[in-house]
Amino acid sequence: MKLFLDTANLDEIRAIKKWGVLSGVTTNPSLLAKEGKDWELQMKEVCAEVDGDVSLETTSEDADEIFEEGVKLASVAPNAVVKVAMTPAGLEAGTRLVGQGIPINVTLTFSPAQAILAAEIGARYVSPFLGRLDDIAADGMHVLNEICDIFDIQGYETRVLASSLRHPMHVVEAARAGADVATMPYDVFTKLVKHPLTESGLEKFLSDWKKLQQELKEGAH
C-alpha cells in the first residue's frame, strides 16, 4: 500500500518526503484554503515537490465547467491528477477527462455502489472517505473492505485510495483491507512512526552507551 499525504502544505510535504515513504499527495479546496495563498502557485509548488501523483480538485458543479477546469488542472504539472466529485456531473466530466487521457480521482465516495461507478469510467483512483462515515456513526472500514473485495473480484484497475483517515489504526486496517493507497494528514503520518517502547528502548541504549564511553574514559575497564 502506497502512502500519500493529505495536505497542501509544503513544509509538511518536505518533512515526510525525507523519510523516503511519500508516494503522492492529495489536496482539496479546504486544504488549499487553509494555506491562504495564491492557489495556482501553491498547486504548482506542491506538484514540483512531490515525486508521484498529486490530486487537484475541481470546484465547479456543471459537467462542462468541471471538464474545462479539469483540463486546466491537468496542465499544472505532469503529475497532476484531477479530482472530480462523485456526482452525475462529476462522472460525466470525469468520463470526458479520461477520454482525453487525463487521470482522475473520484472523490467524496461513500459507498461500494459509487465506487463501482468510478471504476467503470476508468478513474485512476477512487477515494472512499472513512473518517467522515465514522463521524455519522456508519462503518467506514466496512465500506472500504467491501470496495476492495469487489474490485478484486471484478479485476478493476482503478486504485482504491483510502481517504479521510484519522488515526494510525485506520491506516493499518486499510492495508489489511487491501487498499492500494492510504492518504492521511501530517499528524497521522507522524503518529505511524511512534511507539513508547521504541522511545524508552532508544533512551536505554543511548544511556548505556554513554555510560560505557564515560567508564572507558575514566579507565574503569
Active-site residue set: 83
Give the β-pairing of 104-109 and 2-6: unpaired
* 28 binds ligand E4P per the rule CB under 6 A: yes
* 58 binds ligand E4P per the rule CB under 6 A: no
**Interface stretch with ligand E4P, choices 62-70, 123-131, 172-180, 186-194 (CB under 6 A):** 123-131
Judged by beta carbon, residue 147 or residue 212, the one nearer ligand E4P is 147
* 163 binds ligand E4P per the rule CB under 6 A: yes
| Minimum CB distance to ligand E4P, residue 185 (Å) | 7
* 164 binds ligand E4P per the rule CB under 6 A: yes
Given a contact cutoff of 8 angstroms between Cβ atoms, the answer to whether 42 and 8 are in contact is yes
Burial string for 171-191 (b: 16+ CB within 10 Å, else e) reads: bebbeebbbbbbbbbbebbee
* 53 binds ligand E4P per the rule CB under 6 A: no
Helix (H) or strand (E) holding 209: helix 196-217
In the set 9, 58, 79, 107, which binds ligand E4P (CB under 6 A)? Answer: 107
**Interface stretch with ligand E4P, choices 17-25, 115-123, 125-133, 150-158 (CB under 6 A):** 125-133
* 132 binds ligand E4P per the rule CB under 6 A: yes
How far is the C-alpha of 208 from the C-alpha of 73, rounded, in Å?
55
* 72 binds ligand E4P per the rule CB under 6 A: no
Given a contact cutoff of 8 angstroms between Cβ atoms, the answer to whether 163 and 134 are in contact is no
Q: To 10 degrees, the CA torsion angle through 24, 183, 83, 46?
A: -40
Which distant-in-sequence residues (6+ apart) come within 8 Å of 45 by Cβ? 10
Strand runs labelled E in 94-189: 104-109, 125-128, 159-162, 181-184
**Interface stretch with ligand E4P, choices 61-69, 74-82, 127-135, 189-197 (CB under 6 A):** 127-135
Report residue 167 as a C-alpha cell. 488515526
| Minimum CB distance to ligand E4P, residue 131 (Å) | 5
| Minimum CB distance to ligand E4P, residue 198 (Å) | 27
* 127 binds ligand E4P per the rule CB under 6 A: yes
* 109 binds ligand E4P per the rule CB under 6 A: no
* 26 binds ligand E4P per the rule CB under 6 A: yes
Given a contact cutoff of 8 angstroms between Cβ atoms, the answer to whether 159 and 125 are in contact is yes
What are the residues binding ligand E4P (CB under 6 A)? 6, 26, 28, 107, 127, 129, 131-132, 163-164, 183
